[in-house]
């Protein structure tokens, strides 16, 4: 009896382990594989020994219900009082466990006037953006082999623009009022790399000689940049 008790306890904790790493496999292998996102009780139990997979473990399908595919709250404007004047509300597999393995997710992006979603890439997703309110100047830059061409457009309400996977892109509120957009991404865990944050705000910092040479600036400019606070609007 006691052995059984230990077993139950063990697995209860295993099932609630800190599965921090999300997934974006476009090929589900069954009707669904709802992610096990629960990490509330896994606190100090596993330490260095937590187990993960490429993607996420799934819930017992018998226990899955409609709430696993549901998220609420995108109707509300978000606070954009931050250095970038923008706020990305992410709804990926961490918010909707049912997105696991389905290869899609979404975000709501709020912009104050002059608000910026700064140059960034999604290493695992292409994106469409549809403007609900306001006016956005948006663009992406192609790779070196294509000549680092910039493609831009000014978008108004009801306009859609597409950002191909892996390319650096941005959105900037060039209107006089708040702007709101919804985006869809071709992964349940697209990832975001904000260029400035990754280059000048890495932890620990990149060797300043690398950055000085790469960006053709003095070491003291690099030093200044590495001392800034790099706000993450995601």
Complex with its own copies: residue 177 or 195, whichever CB lies closer: 195
Of the pair 179, 199, the CB lying nearest its own copies is at 199
Maximum separation of any 2 CA atoms in the chain, in Å? 70
Query: Among residues 37, 87, 102, 110, which is the contact residue for its own copies, using CB under 8 A?
Result: 102
Give CA angle at 217 (230, 193), nearest 5°. 35
Interface with its own copies (CB under 8 A), residue from 39, 78, 113, 137: 137
Helix axes 208-215, 219-227, angle to 10 degrees: 110
Minimum distance from residue 219 beta carbon to its own copies (Å): 13
Q: Judged by CB, which is closer to its own copies: 55, or 175?
A: 55
Residue-wise over 24-58: b if at least 16 C-beta within 10 A, else e? bbeeeeeebbbbbbeeeebeeeeeeeeeeeebbbb
Q: What character string, x for contact with its own copies (CB under 8 A) and - otherwise, covers 68-87? A: -xxxxxxxx------xx---
Return d(Cα 44, Cα 189) in angstroms, integer.
26
Output 70 or 219, the one with its CB closest to its own copies: 70
Q: How far is the CB of 199 from its own copies (least distance, A)?
A: 6
């Amino acid at each position: 009896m006691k052995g059984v008790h230990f077993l139950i306890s063990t697995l209860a904790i295993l099932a609630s382990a800190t599965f921090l790493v999300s997934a974006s496999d476009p090929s589900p292998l069954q009707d669904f594989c709802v992610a096990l996102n629960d990490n509330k009780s896994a606190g100090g139990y596993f330490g260095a020994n937590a187990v993960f997979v490429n993607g996420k473990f799934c819930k017992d399908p018998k226990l899955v219900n409609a709430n696993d595919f549901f998220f609420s709250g995108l109707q509300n404007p978000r606070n954009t009082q931050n250095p970038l004047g923008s706020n990305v509300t992410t709804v990926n597999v961490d918010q909707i466990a049912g997105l696991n393995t389905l290869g899609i997710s979404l975000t709501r992006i709020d912009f104050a006037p002059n608000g910026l979603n700064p140059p960034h890439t999604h290493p695992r997703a292409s994106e469409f953006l549809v403007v609900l309110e306001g006016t956005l100047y948006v663009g992406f830059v192609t790779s070196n082999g294509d000549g680092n061409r910039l493609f831009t457009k000014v978008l108004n309400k009801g306009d859609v623009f597409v950002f191909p996977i892996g390319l650096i892109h941005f959105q900037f509120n060039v209107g006089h009022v708040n702007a709101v957009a919804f985006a869809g991404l071709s992964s349940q865990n697209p990832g975001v790399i904000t260029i400035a944050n990754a280059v000048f705000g890495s932890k620990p910092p990149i060797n300043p000689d690398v950055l000085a040479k790469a960006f053709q600036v003095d070491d003291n400019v690099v030093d200044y940049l590495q001392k800034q606070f790099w706000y993450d609007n995601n």
